[in-house]
Amino acid sequence: MIKNVAIIGLGLLGGSVGLAAAKHLPDITTTGYDAAPDVRAKAAELALVGTVCETLAETVRDADLVVLCVPVGAMRNAAGGLKGLLKQGAIVSDVGSSKQSVLDDLRAELPGQIIIPAHPVAGTEQSGPDAGFATLFTGRWCILTPPAGADEDAVTALTAFWQGLGAKTEIMEAAHHDLVLAVTSHIPHLIAYTIVGTASDLEDVTRSEVIKYSAGGFRDFTRIAASDPVMWRDVFLQNKGAVLEMLGRFTEDLTAMQRAIRSGDGETLEELFERTRKIRRSIIEQGQDDAAPDFGRDH
């Protein structure tokens, strides 16, 4: 059973895990640590965890579960810091957006430890200790990617923990997770970053015009493109293979659209737009988004 949880990294995800545990799992004790002293001070002020500690050793001393909530490029370093500090049988997990690289990094740094990576598919474009909130995981999926032969009791305990925080859980292989998330999350972020970058570099359309008329669709991309630069830099570098594979497919499909527009092939365009509209309807039917028009904005 998981009684003591240590959270390393007290930004949006770490803070939300702490707040959700306090709200939904009051019998669990939480400790937390962040590399940045100002983040530790803010986390203590906001009571993101039960105790904000000044050292890693103190943070993980009694932990049955350690959750690494740092950017995926910092996972190896964070795991390395735990060497020799963990209780016998403690589970080491994380919330990183890519999974194969995290699994490899944690195994390399903590051989012999129970390692069960996880990814709550929940977030916002905000980051830092002020951004966390207790309901972030409510009704959202958390994908666990235990390696082959992982301790079954530990998988069951981690599943129960995430369900306790309000999430729905799924088990997946790390490599498959990375392909799925490349197309549902990583490529959409790359497209948003690119289109917003392109618009800000235009010479014959001014930046003030782009901002003024953004309600035509552009502003929906800007929400995603405002996501944390360090976190997303790391996601693309750590999930390189899957992202490049999906980007290849996307580029081919984009070229087909370019051809359809150039040749006046309205049938191809309409057929795609009919299919994509159905995807939106399925997302709403499955409770993954609000049915209100224009994301429920006040008009």
User: Binding to ligand NAP by residue 128, rule CB under 6 A?
Assistant: yes
User: Binding to ligand NAP by residue 144, rule CB under 6 A?
Assistant: no
194 HSE (CA, 13 A, CB side):
7
Q: Considering CB under 6 A, how many residues would be counted as binding ligand NAP? A: 29
Task: Quickly tell me which residue has 């049955």 as its tokens.
Answer: 64
Q: Nearest approach, Cβ of 121 to ligand NAP (angstroms)?
A: 7
6, 28, 78, 181: residue in contact with ligand NAP (rule CB under 6 A): 78
The DSSP code for 173 is -
Nearer to ligand NAP, 36 or 272 (CB): 36
Strand order, beta sheet including 118-120: 118-120, 141-144, 168-171
Q: Nearest approach, Cβ of 246 to ligand NAP (angstroms)?
A: 17
Please name which of 95, 92, 130 lies closest in space to residue 114, comparing C-alpha atoms: 92
126: left (phi over 0), alpha (psi -120 to 50) or beta: beta
Nearer to ligand NAP, 34 or 178 (CB): 34
Strand order, beta sheet including 65-68: 51-52, 29-33, 4-8, 65-68, 91-94, 114-115
User: Binding to ligand NAP by residue 85, rule CB under 6 A?
Assistant: no
User: Binding to ligand NAP by residue 228, rule CB under 6 A?
Assistant: yes
User: Binding to ligand NAP by residue 9, rule CB under 6 A?
Assistant: yes
User: Binding to ligand NAP by residue 11, rule CB under 6 A?
Assistant: yes
Please name which of 246, 234, 189, 193 lies closest in space to residue 98, comparing C-alpha atoms: 234
The residues binding ligand NAP (CB under 6 A) are: 8-14, 34-36, 39, 69-72, 74, 77-78, 95-97, 120, 123-124, 127-128, 228, 231, 235
